[in-house]
Amino acid sequence: MSVKIFIDGQEGTTGLKILERFENRNDIEIIRISEELRKDKAERKRLINMSDYTFLCLPDAAAIESVSLAENDHVRIIDASTAHRTNPAWAYGFPELSAAHREKIENSSRVAVPGCYASGFNALVYPLVSSGVMQADFPVCAFATSGYSGAGKKAIAQYEDENRDPQLSSPRFYALSQTHKHLPEMQAVSGLSCKPMFNPMICDYFSGMVVAVPVQTRLLNKKYGIKDIHKVFAEHYSGQNFIQVAEIGGTDIISDGFLASNTLSGTNKMQIFVCGNDEQVLLCSRLDNLGKGASGAAVQCLNIMMGIDETTGLIQTGDFS
């Protein structure tokens, strides 16, 4: 028997990607809203309450409104917006962070899908803080590159316009005032007591991202070398379907010394790199901002909530096991 799925915001970038991932699945039934009623509150309410699971692929205010429309106790909501990611009543949709995160996703009726940058950041910082290797007040700085799809439909149109501004060919830093919308989530989930500095940049390619966190090991609680730090990640993510920890320096994956940002586009993979030396360690996570950073993570959460194999509809040829 199939479960009924409604995607509120099905025409957005994330909504369309979720639909793509459902194309070959026969265990779900998609409830579609007609084009002319996409913003009709009464129709959205009807479909939300008809569904077993509703995905919210909406701006924050609209997502909050949609949650208020759910009146049936059986409706389980997976929200891809920023609105509920730091709400303790909601499960945070990153099952690889801990067994407790996975269990809460499995049992919750409300799951918040992590932000793309926050996924890469928390994958790096959470294991260090939770293990005690990094103190909660460590002065964390993070840098990131992302494809332009992460900025939404308007940015996609700008980047793909043949008469576009020449400056779009160059990587562009943004959120310079340290007010990026993922910062509260990055701090709350990672376990940091101080807000990290975050410097993202949007680049001239469609999708994929790298998040980098440099660590001066002399500032840690005690002396840890690069092998110690690598061991934390190797043990933390051992046996995970979608997260791969590379060998020290990434030598088993990177052949030319360059870490490209778009390598994992189209997948739900994430790769973790621990590079540098005993004094200076560079941590990097690589993922698809539209995959493990959005639609892939949302579908993975759905699978866990349904009690089925979390890889259903997500494993592509070439994925690591």
Question: Does 277 score more than 60 pLDDT?
Answer: yes
Query: What's the pLDDT score for residue 321?
Result: 40
Q: How far apart are CA 106 and CA 266, in angstroms?
A: 25
| Section 21-36 average pLDDT | 94
For the chain, where do the domains classified as CATH 3.30.360.10 start and end?
A: 116-289
User: Which residue stretches of the chain are H helix?
Assistant: 13-21, 41-50, 60-69, 99-107, 116-131, 153-159, 183-190, 226-236, 296-306
Query: What's the pLDDT score for residue 311?
Result: 97
The tens digit of pLDDT for each residue in 121-177 reads 999 999 999 999 999 999 999 999 999 999 888 999 999 999 999 999 999 999 999
Q: How far apart are CA 214 and CA 18, in angstroms?
A: 33
CATH of 116-289 given 3.90.550.50, 3.40.1640.10, 3.30.360.10, 1.20.140.10:
3.30.360.10
For the chain, where do the domains classified as CATH 3.40.50.720 start and end?
A: 3-114+293-306
Question: Does 197 score more than 70 pLDDT?
Answer: yes
CA distances from 121 to 53, 125, 183, 194, 259 (A): 28, 6, 10, 14, 17
The tens digit of pLDDT for each residue in 289-320 reads 999 999 999 999 999 999 999 999 997 644 54
| Section 10-28 average pLDDT | 94
Lay out the sheet containing 280-287: strands in order across: 172-173, 197-203, 141-147, 209-216, 280-287, 270-276, 243-245
Q: Which CATH class is domain 3-114+293-306?
A: alpha beta
| Section 253-265 average pLDDT | 94
| Section 192-207 average pLDDT | 97
Query: What's the pLDDT score for residue 13?
Result: 92
| Single pTM value for the model | 0.95
The tens digit of pLDDT for each residue in 72-105 reads 999 999 999 999 999 999 999 999 999 999 999 9
CA distances from 127 to 2, 193, 230, 315 (A): 37, 15, 11, 25
The tens digit of pLDDT for each residue in 228-252 reads 999 999 999 999 999 999 999 999 9
Query: What's the pLDDT score for residue 317?
Result: 47
Scored b (16 or more CB within 10 A) or e, 300-313 reads bbbbbbbeeebebb
Res. 201 pLDDT band, cuts 50 70 90: very high
Query: What's the pLDDT score for residue 255?
Result: 82
Query: What's the pLDDT score for residue 316?
Result: 63
Question: Does 262 score more than 60 pLDDT?
Answer: yes
Q: Which residue, 200, 198, 148, is CA-closest to 173?
A: 200
What is the residue whose two structure tokens read 């997502």?
Answer: 63
| Section 199-226 average pLDDT | 97
Query: What's the pLDDT score for residue 56?
Result: 98
What does the mean pLDDT of the chain come to? 96
Q: Which residue, 272, 222, 221, is CA-closest to 249?
A: 272
- Annotated catalytic residue: which of 57, 116, 284, 301? 116
Res. 1 pLDDT band, cuts 50 70 90: confident
State yes or no: is 301 an active-site residue.
no
